């Protein structure tokens, strides 16, 4: 491999392309910028700049790991979500842009930010949804994130601290709603929704390196939604809003499950690819 920035990037791009990476040149720049401690712009300004041996060694290690399909977020140690930088580890799903659709849906539906005081995130992972919501709603809002994984709950707390939201957030370990009491104005969930048999066929970045506990939705992909359908009527406040992430083709069956449990489907917001992604729900009849 060459000794200049340009030569490193050219050859790294070829290696990543051969490994099946969709944006090999972009990721090569991202990894080299991380290895140098600089920015992609600084690399492009001087492609003939030499790469010091210690930097070259770090870059080669990152490149080999990415060619083996380790997620970029794990190599960089963080992922962007909404306006936040979140630490990313193999203990939780890497935050994805599609999931930001749930935040957009909630903000559009709740223009009165002060009306949202209690927020719940079921299956919090990195804490992405809960922390993004807290960053947007009034300072009086408080959030609880629940996850079945203790390591994920610790990661979410670390992200709350790093984003200075830990005074408004708490995290607990439990099986969905088992540890939760009371009612919430806003509930999020990005549950496991991949059919069990499909998981081995997912892209290697996901099937090899992301936690199957956060992926596996059972034989039909709907197990978590059945649990949510049982829990949400008890957890939603009067006029409260629940926003659930959906997988491809799940709008109709999940809407049916929620309707049968006494919930009303308000809308389903598509992501940027036009896939129905954020199912919005409320109570069909407010509890007395």
Position 287 scores a pLDDT of 47
pTM of the model: 0.92
Position 59 scores a pLDDT of 93
Position 285 scores a pLDDT of 67
| Homologous superfamily of 78-283 | Vaccinia Virus protein VP39 (3.40.50.150)
Position 288 scores a pLDDT of 44
Whether residue 188 has pLDDT greater than 60: yes
> Average pLDDT in the 164-184 region?
90
Position 41 scores a pLDDT of 75
The tens digit of pLDDT for each residue in 135-155 reads 999 889 999 999 999 999 999
Measured between alpha carbons, how far is 142 from 248 in angstroms, rounded to an integer?
31
Whether residue 55 has pLDDT greater than 80: yes
Whether residue 177 has pLDDT greater than 80: no
Q: DSSP string of the chain?
A: --SBHHHHHHHHHHHHHHTT-SSHHHHHHHHHHHHHTS-HHHHHH-TTSBPPHHHHHHHHHHHHHHHTT--HHHHHTEEEETTEEEE--TTSPPP-GGGHHHHHHHHHH---GGG--EEEEET-TTTHHHHHHHHHS-TT-EEEEEES-HHHHHHHHHHHHHTT-GGGEEEEE-STTTT--S-EEEEEE----B-GGGGGGS-HHHHHHS-GGGTB--TTS-HHHHHHHHHHHHHEEEEEEEEEE--TT-HHHHHHHHHHTTEEEEEEEE-TTS-EEEEEEEESS---
The tens digit of pLDDT for each residue in 65-83 reads 999 999 999 999 999 999 9
The tens digit of pLDDT for each residue in 116-135 reads 999 999 999 999 999 999 99
Average pLDDT, whole number, for the chain? 93
Q: Band of the pLDDT at 179, cuts 50, 70, 90?
A: confident
């Amino acid at each position: 491999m060459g000794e200049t920035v340009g030569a490193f990037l050219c050859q790294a791009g070829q290696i990543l392309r051969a490994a099946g990476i969709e944006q090999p040149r972009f990721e090569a720049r991202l990894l080299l910028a991380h290895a140098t401690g600089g920015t992609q712009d600084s690399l492009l300004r001087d492609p003939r700049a030499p790469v010091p041996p210690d930097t070259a060694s770090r870059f080669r290690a990152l490149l080999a790991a990415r060619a083996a399909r380790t997620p970029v977020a794990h190599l960089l140690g963080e992922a962007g979500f909404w306006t936040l930088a979140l630490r990313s580890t193999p203990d939780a799903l890497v935050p994805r842009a599609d999931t930001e659709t749930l935040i957009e849906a909630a903000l559009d539906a709740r223009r009165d930010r002060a009306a949202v005081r209690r927020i719940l995130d079921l299956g919090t992972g990195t804490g992405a949804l809960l922390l993004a919501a807290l960053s947007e709603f009034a300072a009086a809002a408080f959030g609880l994130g629940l996850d079945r994984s203790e390591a994920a709950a610790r990661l979410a707390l670390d992200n709350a601290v790093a984003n200075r939201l830990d005074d408004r957030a708490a995290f607990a370990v439990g099986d969905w709603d088992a540890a939760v009491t009371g009612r919430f104005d806003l509930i999020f969930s990005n549950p496991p929704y991949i059919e069990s048999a499909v998981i081995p066929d997912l892209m290697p970045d996901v099937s090899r390196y992301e936690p199957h506990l956060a992926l596996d939705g059972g034989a039909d992909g709907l197990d978590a939604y059945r649990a949510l359908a049982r829990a949400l009527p008890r957890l939603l406040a009067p006029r409260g809003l629940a926003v659930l992430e959906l997988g491809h083709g799940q709008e109709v069956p999940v809407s049916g499950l929620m309707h049968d449990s006494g919930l009303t489907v308000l809308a389903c917001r598509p992501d940027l690819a036009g896939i129905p992604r954020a199912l919005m729900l409320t109570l069909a009849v407010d509890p007395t």
